[in-house]
Amino acid sequence: MEKKNLDWANLGFGYMTADYRYVSNYKDGKWDDGEITTDANIVLNECACVFQYSQSCFEGLKAYTTEDGHIVCFRPDLNAERMKETCERLEMPPFPVDRFVDAVEQVVKANEAWVPPYGSGATLYIRPFMIGSNSVIGVKPADEYQFRIFVTPVGPYFKGGAKPLTIRVSDFDRAAPHGTGHIKAGLNYAMSLHAIVDAHNNGFDENMYLDPATRTKVEETGGANFVFITKDGKFVTPKSDSILPSITRRSLMVVAEKYLGMTVEHREVAFEEVKDFAECGLCGTAAVISPVGKIYDHGKEICFPSGMDEMGPNIKKLYDTLTGIQMGKLEAPEGWIKTIL
Ligand code: PLP
Ligand code: COI
C-alpha cells in the first residue's frame, strides 16, 4: 500500500478530503445497509432539520500506525456508546453500536493510504457524525437522518505541539445546568465559537469553563477535559453532569492508577483549589494531553510550577504511557485496541 505523499510531520489539525467515506441513511424507521462512497458532499433541502434546528451530533476518534506496522483504533466501542447516548438525548435514531464499530473499520481500511506512518507524530482523525436530513419547519425532530464517517490525517490540535498552553477563565458558558453539556451535540460547539474567537483575539489558547450554575467549579474547555496533579502526586479530574465524559480522561484514570500507581480522584474541583495544583493538562482525542502552564482569571494569573517550557513530569508520564498504549509500544488493557489492518 503506497501512502499519500504528505508532509506528515508538519500537519496541523485541519481537514483534508480523503478518498473514501462511509454513509448510511435512515428512512421509514430504519437504517439502510450503508456503504463506502467517494462523494465528500451532501446535498440537502434548505429546510433540513440540521439547518433549521441544529439537529446534529458527532464523535471523534483516531487510527494509529503501531510500531510493528499494524493500523489500530483506540476504544471505538466507547465512541459508539457515547453517540448512542447523545442520539437518545437529541431524539435521533442511534446507529447500532456494532455497526458503528464496523463502519469505522471499513472507512479506515478504505483510506489506508491516508493513515500517517508510525513515528511521524500524525494520526488519522476519524469523524463520525449524524444529521437530521429531511425538511422540518415546526420545531420537532426530523424523521430522516444521515450517519456518515469521514477521516482526515492530523497533527497536534494546539500549535506548538507539547508547549504548555495559556488559557483563561471564560465569562461565557458552553453548557446549561440540566442542558446538553454531557453529550456530543454540535450545538455545544456553536455555543463555544464566540468564546474561542474572543479567547484567541486576546492571546489565549483556550477557555476554561466553570460550572454554569455557580461559576465556582471547574468544568472543561471547548474540546477537552481537565487533568490536575496535586503537589503530592495525586491525579485529580473534575466530575460534573454538564461536561463530556471524555474517553481519554476515562482511559487516563486507568493509566494513572494501574500503570503509574497514582491515587485517582474523580470529583468536583473547586476553582479555588486550582492555584494549589502542581500540574495541569487538557485531555481528549484531539488534544491527547496538552499541558497547561498558565491560567488567566480576570487580571490574576495562576502559574503552575511546571512552567511554560515543557510538560510537567507527571503529565509527561501520563502522555508517554497513553500514547505508548495507543501506538502498540506498551501492552493495552483488554479490549482497548481494535486492530484494523
Ligand atoms: N470535552 C469536549 C467538549 C470535547 O469535545 C472532547 C472531544 O471529544 C473531549 C472533552 C474529550 O473527549 P474524548 O477524550 O472522548 O475525545
Ligand atoms: C475530539 O477530540 O475528538 C473533539 O471532538 C474535540 C474537537 C475540539 C476537535
**Assigned C-alpha cell, 201:** 483575539
Q: At what angle do helices 97-110 and 76-89 cross, to 10 degrees?
A: 130
Is the pLDDT at 161 greater than 80? The verdict is: no
Percent of the chain with pLDDT over 70: 100
Residue nearest to atom 6 of ligand 2 (CA): 223
The residue from 62, 184, 217, 338 that is catalytic is 184
Q: State whether the beta carbon of 284 lies less than 6 angstroms from ligand 2.
A: yes
CATH architecture, range 165-325: Alpha-Beta Barrel (3.20)
Expressed in angstroms and rounded, the spacing between residue 1 Cα and the centre of ligand 1 is: 32
pLDDT tens for residues 70-102? 999 999 999 999 999 999 999 999 999 999 999
Q: What is the pLDDT of residue 102?
A: 98
Instruction: Say what the pTM is.
Output: 0.97
Q: What are phi and psi of 201, to 5 degrees?
A: -60, -25
Of 277, 281, 266, nearest to 320 (Cα)? 281
Q: Do domains 8-154 and 165-325 have the same CATH topology?
A: no
pLDDT tens for residues 211-229? 999 999 999 999 999 999 9
Q: What is the pLDDT of residue 210?
A: 98
Helices (H), the chain: 49-53, 76-89, 97-110, 186-201, 247-254, 313-326
Average pLDDT for 309-325: 96
Report d(CA 148, CA 186) in Å as an integer: 14
Is the pLDDT at 160 greater than 80? The verdict is: no
Residue ranges per structural domain of the chain? 8-154, 165-325
Q: State whether the beta carbon of 60 lies less than 6 angstroms from ligand 1.
A: yes
> Is 184 part of the annotated catalytic residue set?
yes
**If you average pLDDT over every residue of the chain, what do you get?**
97
Residue nearest to atom 2 of ligand 1 (CA): 223
Expressed in angstroms and rounded, the spacing between residue 272 Cα and the centre of ligand 2 is: 27
Q: What is the pLDDT of residue 159?
A: 82
CATH architecture, range 8-154: 2-Layer Sandwich (3.30)
Expressed in angstroms and rounded, the spacing between residue 110 Cα and the centre of ligand 2 is: 23
